[in-house]
Amino acid sequence: MAGGGSFLVALLRRGAPAIATATSELPDEIADPAPMHALRRISRMSGPIDPAERDGLLLRATRYVVLIPLAYRLLAVPGQFGVYVFQHGTAGLLPVGAFTLLSIALNVIGFRWMFRSAPFRGRNARKLLAVDLVFTVLSPPVLALTVPTEVYFDALAVSSVHLFGEAGLLTLALGVPTGLVFGLASFPLRMLANWLNTGRFHVGEAFSTYSALLAETFLAAAALVLTGLGTRLALAYGTRNGRLAERAQQHRMLHDTVLQTLEAMALSGTSNPEERLVEIQRLARAQAMEIRHLIESAKSERAEAGARPLGEKLAALAAEMARDGLRAQLVVAELDDDTLSEVRQIAIRDAVREALRNTMKHSGTDRVVVRVEERDGGIAVITRDHGAGFDKATCPAGFGISESITARLAEVGGTSLVESGLPGGGTRVTLWVPF
């Protein structure tokens, strides 16, 4: 561990920007699916982090947390202004109305800035926050100097709503200590405004807003903690599931390449030692070339394959199988290639490859029909051979069917159905993926 400090402490001290460190020092125990006491899991999520490891995308995403106090002020300030107008009519309407309009404008600008497409810049964020803070601090004394005494406390209630939102905004953006300092500073500010309008400090009245300020700060801190710990938990689960998916993909690759070649070597039909050696050497060279190609150019191969529609992918697969001795007759209905994503095309192609290899190894025939059609809001690929077939009761699905076919399609929302013992003999495999 390169740094130190608790993620929860950093979150409370620094506010939402600390969420950018959520990716660091993630223990596997956080995402352990085994039952665990809630406090123990929270303790692991709140554990040590590396402050120097900051994720840029998370740092940009944290700005959206401050939308909560902005939305609160955008709704509550006009509502409180409406209450003031209902109670006092036009008395002090101009300064209170001007404050309300300026408050709405600041919050609308904040919203627009949050949703803009330009890159996030911390310096600009601090400038906007400083402008908002100055407006919040100056509003009570300005209102005190411009509204009649008889409506002063109700006018101040309108600005208090904006002030409560400021406490939440500072807590989320800069941390709980900043929010608490602002709350304490609002007490002398309120007494100053009282003195400017009434000639008295009204200490009790100034203290009356503290419960609302503390509640706003507490809610903002709670939102901060829930967002931070939730992000860290989601990242841990995502990392764990990504590792499992990568491991499953590696297992499928080994099964579909190395294991298939080893089995082909073992099933070589010739009894002549020289011919058998030549055949084994040919298979070994072909497999070595395939593995090297997978290692060195997997990305470029996928990108190149992605440029071809599904029909061409399956035609290339049929040619590949023909080189190994299996003649696949491809029947493709007219398809709209744009309706099926590249991820699903590759998944169904690889599942068809495994089905054809099973035919080549187990059916006892060298012919198979591959039919492609639209069905039930998706694409179905059916492979049909008239070979020996098998009995599901005595031959349960192995790794090839359960992982290279069923699990591969399930990952993209698809299904598979393997049927054997059909009229006329043989096996039919139906693969389906949605549009």
Instruction: Report the range of poorest mean pLDDT among 14-18, 78-82, 157-161, 241-245.
Output: 241-245
Q: Identify the pLDDT of residue 306.
A: 47
Alpha helices in 38-174 (DSSP H): 38-45, 56-61, 67-88, 93-114, 122-146, 152-174
Dump pLDDT digits (tens) for 186-233.
999 999 999 999 999 998 888 888 888 988 999 999 999 998 888 888
Query: Which residues does 208 contact at the CB level (< 8 Å), separation at least 6?
Result: none
Backbone angles phi, psi at 381, to 5 degrees: -120, 120
Do residues 216 and 165 touch, judged by C-beta distance below 8 A?
yes
What DSSP letter does each residue of 270-305 carry, written as one string? ---HHHHHHHHHHHHHHHHHHHHHHHHHHHHHHHHH
Q: In what order do the strands lie in the sheet with 427-434?
A: 327-332, 367-375, 378-385, 427-434, 415-420
Residue 53 pLDDT level (bands cut at 50, 70, 90): confident
pLDDT band at 180 (very low <50, low <70, confident <90, very high): very high
The residue with greater pLDDT, 64 or 395, is 64
Tell the burial category of 266 from Cβ atoms under 10 Å away from its Cβ (0-12, 13-18, 19+): exposed
What pLDDT is stored for residue 84 in this prediction?
Answer: 95
Instruction: Tell me the mean pLDDT in the region 392-412.
Output: 71
Tens digits of residue pLDDT in 109-156: 998 888 875 555 667 788 889 999 999 999 999 999 999 999 999 999
**203, 152 Cβ separation under 8 angstroms:** no
User: Predicted confidence band at 104 (pLDDT cuts at 50, 70, 90)?
Assistant: very high
Q: Is the pLDDT score of 161 beyond 80?
A: yes
